[in-house]
Amino acid sequence: MKATATKFLLTILILAGSFSAFGQKGVDDGSKFGKGDDSIRCVRNLSLYVEYYRQKSYDDALPYWRIVFNECPIANFNMYIHGVKMQELLAEKADNNEQKFAHLDTMMLIYDQRIKYFGHEGKVLGRKGIDWLSMRKSTVEDIKVGYDYIKKSVDMQKNKSENAVLAIFMTGSSSLFKTGELTQEEMIQNYSTASQIADYKISIKPKSADFQRLKEKLDQIFSQSGAATCDALIKLFQPKYDQNPEDKELLTKIIVFLASTDCKDSDLYYHASTSLHKIDPSAKSSYFLAEMNVDRANYEKASVQYKQAIELETDSKEKARYYMKLGDITYHKLGNNSLSRTYARKAAELDPESGHPYLLIGAIYAGSEPCGDGDIAKKALYWIAVDNFVKAKQADNELAEIANKSINAYSQHFPDTETLFFHGLKVGDRYSVDCWINETTIVRTR
């Protein structure tokens, strides 16, 4: 270290021979090292601090660094980076908050002087805000100070804002929103600003894992801030959707955010889901659209979506579930008993362990108009309805309680012995129900 420093000093002394014998500090005349004796003093202390710093002897470096910082502020740009680091290390070793905050104040002073002499205010303010909030965030007033640095940095840097600055910007915004210092509109605007910058970064480097993590972090902070209400999200995302209705990434974000805030009944959620489905159709997206159309009483549209879900689905049990959904609205909402039974039977074929198809078929029969005139024609519907309720509990014992309730209820409508005798029937006879039902059952009495 001594050999290097000595060599450097000798060079400066030779150069200094042309200077006036009278000194003048760089801080006074705006020069890099100053003049005369002061220039020699500046260079000597600069050399000493740099050598000690390189050896990580920070306690030894600091006195010399202070002289350079105070007397020749443009002598070396790295002096500001080194100064912050040394103060940060001292703060970590501080015995109490008073000492810790004193070092923090010095760091703030270093940043201010760096801006004064080397510019780049926006970037430096971001670093300044991060360091402030890393040490002082226990009170609202502390957070506001750091937030102001960060916000000004983002306003100045825009798309050049550093990832860490954007993350802290959202963290600080969330904290201040929760304490009432920021309005919901301000919180949403801050998220929108940070999110757009993250989107820009990703557009420049789509494969950057760092940018992707940044975006996920911003989304997470916002979604957990409490500002992401249904009305607020619609206000935020509706203009973006109107401008880019085919942006898959935007559509996914809209759907995720609205779903997480119970906004699934909103028009924006419906339209975004529909748009995403057109771009990237899947069984699940078809199913979700069908469910939304059911909620909106768009039963014909729901029927189409359920059918598409069935076509796209490869899992038999899931396909059976979609058939059951289709059969249910076909029966209850579209009034087509025969077609509903067809869907239920397909569900039973795909998932033999499910008893739900037979519950639906039983309900369809019990509620249908009789195939023919007379008491027996109607009673026969109850026989075949009960037949299917029995099949339901045989297929799935967990449905036994539900099936038995239906069996007991509709068995009460079976004919009595006299009625059977009048129609020339007896218990145990086989009985065929014609028309669209076309099934055979067993004669029973109540």
Residue 316 falls within a domain, yes or no?
Answer: no
Query: What distance in Å separates the CA atoms of residue 112 and residue 109, rounded to the nearest whole number?
Result: 5
418: which 2 tokens? 């006299």
Domain final position from 85, 119, 153? 119
pLDDT: which is higher, 52 or 255 = 52
Cα 411 to chain centroid distance, Å, stands at 53
Residue 99 falls within a domain, yes or no?
Answer: yes
Query: What distance in Å separates the CA atoms of residue 362 and residue 384, rounded to the nearest whole number?
Result: 7
SS3 153: helix
What confidence tens digit (pLDDT) does each residue in 1-38 have?
Answer: 444 444 444 444 444 444 444 567 878 888 888 887 88
Average pLDDT, the chain: 90
What confidence tens digit (pLDDT) does each residue in 275-317 have?
Answer: 999 999 999 889 989 999 998 999 999 999 999 999 999 999 9
Residue type for position 291: E
pLDDT of 354 > 70? The answer is yes
Poorest-pLDDT segment among 149-163, 338-352, 425-439: 425-439
43: alpha, beta or left? (left if phi > 0; alpha if psi -120 to 50):
alpha
Domain final position from 71, 90, 119? 119
Residue 179 falls within a domain, yes or no?
Answer: no
Burial class of residue 242 in the structure, from the number of CB atoms within 10 Å of its CB (0-12 exposed, 13-18 middle, 19+ buried): exposed
Query: What distance in Å separates the CA atoms of residue 350 and residue 128, rounded to the nearest whole number?
Result: 64
240 contacts: CB under 8 Å, gap ≥ 6: 250, 254
pLDDT at 355: 96
Q: Cα angle at 276 between 270 and 280, to 5 degrees?
A: 145
Query: What distance in Å separates the CA atoms of residue 165 and residue 153, rounded to the nearest whole number?
Result: 8
Query: What distance in Å separates the CA atoms of residue 356 and residue 144, rounded to the nearest whole number?
Result: 59
What confidence tens digit (pLDDT) does each residue in 34-51 have?
Answer: 887 889 999 999 999 999
Residue 157 falls within a domain, yes or no?
Answer: no
Domain count of the chain? 2
Domain final position from 119, 141, 163? 119
pLDDT of 334 > 60? The answer is yes
Comparing CA positions, the residue from 254, 163, 145 lying closest to residue 204 is 163
285 contacts: CB under 8 Å, gap ≥ 6: 273, 276, 277
Percentages helix, strand, coil for the chain (3-state, rounded to 5) are 75, 0, 25
Residue 124 falls within a domain, yes or no?
Answer: no
SS3 430: strand
Compute φ and ψ for 354, nearest 5 degrees: -95, 135
Query: What distance in Å separates the CA atoms of residue 94 and residue 82, rounded to the nearest whole number?
Result: 18
Poorest-pLDDT segment among 190-194, 340-344, 360-364: 190-194
Provide the residue range defining the domain that includes 75: 1-119
Place of tokens 């529909």: 274
Give the other-Cβ count within 10 Å of 55's Cβ: 11
Average the pLDDT over 334-349 and give the result.
96
Counts for the chain of helices (H) and strands (E), in that order? 22, 2
* Cα dihedral sign, 25-29-32-36: negative
- Percent of the chain at pLDDT > 90 equals 74
- Please state whether the predicted TM-score (pTM) of the whole model is above 0.75: no
Query: For residue 354, how many C-alpha atoms fall within 13 Å in the half-sphere facing its CB?
Result: 21
Q: Cα angle at 177 between 175 and 183, to 5 degrees?
A: 160
pLDDT of 403 > 50? The answer is yes
114 contacts: CB under 8 Å, gap ≥ 6: 80, 124
Residue 254 falls within a domain, yes or no?
Answer: no
404 contacts: CB under 8 Å, gap ≥ 6: 389, 393
Average the pLDDT over 73-95 and give the result.
95
pLDDT at 7: 46
Residue 226 falls within a domain, yes or no?
Answer: no
Comparing CA positions, the residue from 287, 191, 282, 285 lying closest to residue 240 is 191
Residue 264 falls within a domain, yes or no?
Answer: no
Burial class of residue 19 in the structure, from the number of CB atoms within 10 Å of its CB (0-12 exposed, 13-18 middle, 19+ buried): middle
Query: For residue 294, how many C-alpha atoms fall within 13 Å in the half-sphere facing its CB?
Result: 19
pLDDT of 206 > 50? The answer is yes
What confidence tens digit (pLDDT) does each residue in 208-237 have?
Answer: 999 999 999 998 999 889 888 888 889 888
410-to-158, 265, 360 alpha-carbon distances in Å: 71, 38, 14
pLDDT of 412 > 70? The answer is yes
| pLDDT-derived band at 373, boundaries 50, 70, 90 | confident
What confidence tens digit (pLDDT) does each residue in 131-153 have?
Answer: 999 999 999 999 999 999 999 99
pLDDT at 22: 54
pLDDT: which is higher, 109 or 374 = 109
pLDDT at 23: 62
Comparing CA positions, the residue from 209, 216, 178, 168 lying closest to residue 195 is 216
Query: What distance in Å separates the CA atoms of residue 114 and residue 112, rounded to the nearest whole number?
Result: 5
pLDDT at 11: 44
pLDDT at 249: 83
